[in-house]
Chain A
Amino acid sequence: MLARSCVRPMRAFASARNGAVQITKRAASSSSGSSAESPLRLNIAAAAATAVAAGSVGWYYHLYGNSHAMTPAEEGLHPTKYPWVHEQWLKTFDHQALRRGFQVYREVCSSCHSLSRVPYRSLVGSILTVDEAKALAEENEYDAEPNDQGEIEKRPGKLADYLPSPYPNDEAARFANNGALPPDLSLMVKARHGGCDYIFSLLTGYPDEPPAGAQVGAGLYFNPYFPGTGIAMARVLYNGLVEYEDETPATTSQMAKDVTEFLHWAAEPEMDDRKRMGMKVLVITSVLFAMSVWVKRYKWAWLKSRKIVYDPPKEGQTKIRD
């Protein structure tokens, strides 16, 4: 029976298409046997579909109980929009802030998070001077080319090397962090919905204590902005944690703002160039567009301004006009 009703949907569909017409027909004359059958079948199908839907919902509740799905906690609190200066159309990164942000990354975040897509050379000129970058690179050791015996020795880093990662691999990182992997931060601003706003909110949004009744899993910390609200990263930024060389007061929000802007730079170092190029493109194309409009009007002027006149022959006049 079920199989047969499954085979039939084509016919049922065809009759449904005619349904509206048939109903009006039936209103006109009550003596049509075959057309009265189809609405009945339709009603049965609708009732069956409703029963199946209600049944599956009931079955779900029977299996999983009164589960809380699609709660705001699951989604996480959407970050507030902050008026970032560097995100404005005509503004660039603030390189003093980038320098402070890099300091925060190096002194705080780099013990857990890698920044593996950023080489020392890209820091030159935007964050550090050549000498500072070289000195920083030389603090770390990297694998050298194989020597005569084919052994790989260590050499001090140089500008072409990439920033070192805190852990040799993901497993080591998980092992050191209670099973949670601190993600690479190179592209973090692009990788999260909300970008800078999200990261700033995440870093500054740890409440003193979770709201009443909130469930926080073992080894997790309550953060409203993290989807699910339980994050494996504890609050890391506290007032006065770093000492800025330009003597900016190192409050939590100041450090979070700086490191977020730095991470934006890490994810999108080409932003300043991109905006300048965009400006050039807009200026040049708008000039070219204006010129093309003018040229078009100029070239079409004779065609657009001509006048076609139909001069009908006068009544009774046989002679064709010359």
Chain B
Amino acid sequence: MGFWDTITDLVEAATPWSVAEAEAPAQETTEETTAETTQEETETKPEAAAEEPAAEEEAKEEEEEEEEEEEEEEEEELQDPKEVFEEECRNSKECAPAKHHYDECVERVTAAQSQEGGANEDCVEEFFHLVHCATACAAPKLFSVLK
């Protein structure tokens, strides 16, 4: 939505012959238009293919391969980008000190827990530092991906 769109919107709204739609547009018309457009697409497609058969075929094959890959990805379980980025960030150099402390703490505490007295400390603070580092590092990447 650029500056020019704003102006054209304003002009459109001000013209006496424009129509303001407060309601959703009627269902039928949309169906018709989609049917028309799909028809048009199917009509135009073979023509385009006939013009440059050799080059088109190559391109098509590549496209199909790509499509297949995409479909596979879709069929797989959704991957939360937050987890992906944060995992990357946890293992990055930036968060290495926090991760080192956390891993060490987990080792120490689990070792202590298996002994008699049990652990008299927890790794919450170390965990906080690690999570803080990972989320701060992942935040801009995550929001550039999310809608």
The distance from the CB of B76 to the nearest CB of chain A, in whole angstroms, is 11
Say whether A212 contacts B122, CB under 8 Å: yes
A residues in contact with B146, CB < 8 Å: 253-254, 257
Does chain B have a CB within 8 A of A130?
A: yes
Residues in B with CB closer than 8 Å to A50 are none
Q: Is B125 a contact partner of A71 (Cβ separation < 8 A)?
A: yes
Residues in chain B near residue A254, CB distance under 8 A: 146-147
- Measured CB to CB, the nearest residue on chain A to B134 is A80
User: Separation in Å of the A229 CB from the closest CB of chain B?
Assistant: 7
Other-chain contact of B136, A80, A205, A213, A252 (Cβ < 8 Å): A80
Q: With a CB–CB cut-off of 8 A, which chain A residues contact B110?
A: 212
Contact (Cβ within 8 A) B124 A83: no
Beyond A77-B128, A213-B121, whether A239 also contacts B139 by CB under 8 A is no
Is B61's beta carbon under 8 Å from chain A? Answer: no
Can you identify 30 A-B contacts, CB atoms within 8 angstroms?
A71-B125, A72-B124, A72-B128, A77-B128, A82-B143, A83-B140, A83-B143, A85-B143, A130-B22, A130-B23, A131-B23, A132-B24, A211-B105, A211-B126, A211-B127, A212-B106, A212-B119, A212-B123, A213-B113, A213-B119, A214-B124, A240-B77, A248-B147, A249-B78, A251-B79, A251-B82, A252-B80, A253-B80, A253-B146, A257-B143
| Contact A204 to B140, CB < 8 A, known contacts A80-B132, A211-B122, A213-B123 | no
Q: Mark A126-166, 1 if CB is under 8 A from B, else 0.
A: 00011110000000000000000000000000000000000
Contact residues, B31-51 vs A (CB, 8 A): none
Taking a contact as CB atoms under 8 Å apart, the answer to whether A77 and B24 are in contact is: no
Of A96, A131, A253, which contacts B81 at CB under 8 A? A253
Is the pair B81, A82 in contact by a Cβ cutoff of 8 Å? no
Contact A201–B106 (Cβ < 8 Å): no
**Does A180 interact with chain B (Cβ within 8 Å)?**
no
| Among B22, B81, B105, B131, contact of A205 (Cβ-Cβ < 8 Å) | B131
Q: CB-CB < 8 A to B136: which residues of A?
A: 80-81
Of the candidates A131, A251, A257, the one having the most CB atoms from chain B within 10 angstroms of its own CB is A251
Binding site for A on B (CB under 8 A): 22-24, 77-82, 102, 105-106, 109-110, 113, 119, 121-128, 131-132, 135-136, 139-140, 142-143, 146-147
A239 B78 Cβ-Cβ under 8 A: yes
Q: Encode A95-112 as 1/0 by CB contact (under 8 A) with B.
A: 011000000000000000
Q: How far, in whole Å, are A96 and B146 apart by their CA atoms in the complex?
A: 13
Closest A residue to B128 using CB positions: A77
Q: How far is the CB of B99 from chain A (nearest CB, A)?
A: 13
Instruction: Count CB-based A-B contacts (< 8 Å).
Output: 102
Majority SS at the chain B contact face: helix
* Across-interface contacts of A129 in B (CB, < 8 A): 22-24
CA distance A298 to B71 in the complex (A): 73
Query: Which 10 pairs of residues, A with B, have the shortest CB-CB distance?
Result: A213-B122, A211-B127, A253-B82, A239-B78, A80-B135, A211-B123, A212-B109, A213-B109, A129-B24, A212-B106
Smallest CB separation, B125 vs chain A (Å): 5
- For B138, the closest partner residue in chain A by CB is A80
A-B contacts besides A213-B119, A257-B146, 14 pairs, CB < 8 Å: A71-B124, A73-B128, A77-B128, A81-B136, A211-B105, A211-B123, A211-B124, A211-B126, A213-B109, A213-B113, A213-B121, A239-B80, A251-B80, A253-B146
List the B side residues contacting A253 at CB < 8 Å.
80-82, 142, 146
Q: In the complex, how many angstroms separate the beta carbon of B100 from the nearest chain A beta carbon?
A: 15
Bound: A250/B80 CA distance, A = 9
Q: How far does the Cβ of A166 sit from chain B's closest Cβ, in whole Å?
A: 27
Partner of A204, one of B78, B82, B126: B82
Residues in chain B near residue A215, CB distance under 8 A? 122
Assembled-state Cα–Cα distance A131/B121 (Å): 58
Contact B105 A212 (CB under 8 A): yes
Q: Do A131 and B24 touch across chains, with their CB atoms under 8 A apart?
A: yes
Inter-chain CA distance A293–B113, complex, in Å, is 74
A residues within 8 A CB of B139? 80-83
CB distance from A144 to the nearest CB of B (A): 27
